[in-house]
Amino acid sequence: MISKNQQKYISSLEMKKNRKKDNVFVAEGFKIVDELLDAGYCPKMIIACEEWMSKHQSPITNSPTLITVTEDELRKTSFLQHPQQVLGVFEMPNTQHHTPTSQWLRNNLCIALDGVQDPGNLGTIIRIADWFGIDTIICSMTTADAYAPKVVQATMGSIARVKVVYTNLVEYLKGLDNDIPIYGTLLDGENIYSKQLTPNGIIVMGNEGNGISPDVRELVNRRLLIPSYPPERPSAESLNVAIATAITVAEFRRITK
């Protein structure tokens, strides 16, 4: 049985300041919780129905707090409209030491997000990165929190495998060596389907409404355009940032595989 204080504590973790204070985040559903456990994430608290608990006793014996609840109790605690057996409070990983260096970027591809605000978009981009084998995302300080409950849910478990690093994006890009490719999707870019792409570097994706910010745009040294089809036909003004990310990364993997 879960106490009212425990329910109140979990509810408080919807706010970033409370997650940051205790260095924890909430994950829900057997798929996401299982993937975090498999990846070695440390659970501080597991709240689950008997069905889930009976199948997972051994992997969670080191968890300080294990609470078996009814489906009704889980529903009252959950952030979801339809909770799935389990909710976990996990220790947030320290990803700052994973900030990609110029040397690392000479052999690897990563995504940088400049002010992406929508939790669903951020979670989907993390999932896209995971699918295409990109294990690091660099975020500006104005990008949404990757460990907010809605973002974690949207990753569908990919948050367990993708490292998300927050930094001053302008200063970070300025500090890279001049030979590092910094790609950005811009209206004045070259057609991505004819542009020669590299298997390494950074792909910058911008804010949902404003795109890549002016300061970051100045540092993009390889401009890309995802053209509408056919070019002469009236079309939507822009693509959703998560969809644009998927198209861009897929093209990089297709060309450079």
CA distance 127 to 121: 10
pLDDT of 257 strictly over 60 = no
3-state secondary structure of 50: helix
CA distance 88 to 157: 13
Task: Give the tens place of pLDDT for each residue, 117-171.
Answer: 999 999 999 999 999 999 999 999 999 999 999 999 999 999 999 999 999 999 9
CA distance 140 to 241: 15
Per-residue confidence (pLDDT) for residue 156, from 0 to 100: 94
Task: Give the tens place of pLDDT for each residue, 29-70.
Answer: 989 999 999 898 989 999 999 888 888 766 565 667 888 999
Would you say 48 and 74 are in contact if contact means Cβ atoms under 8 Å apart? Answer: yes
Q: What is the pTM of this model?
A: 0.92
Least confident of 85-89, 95-99, 118-122: 95-99
What φ, ψ does residue 229 adopt, rounded to 5°?
Answer: -140, 135
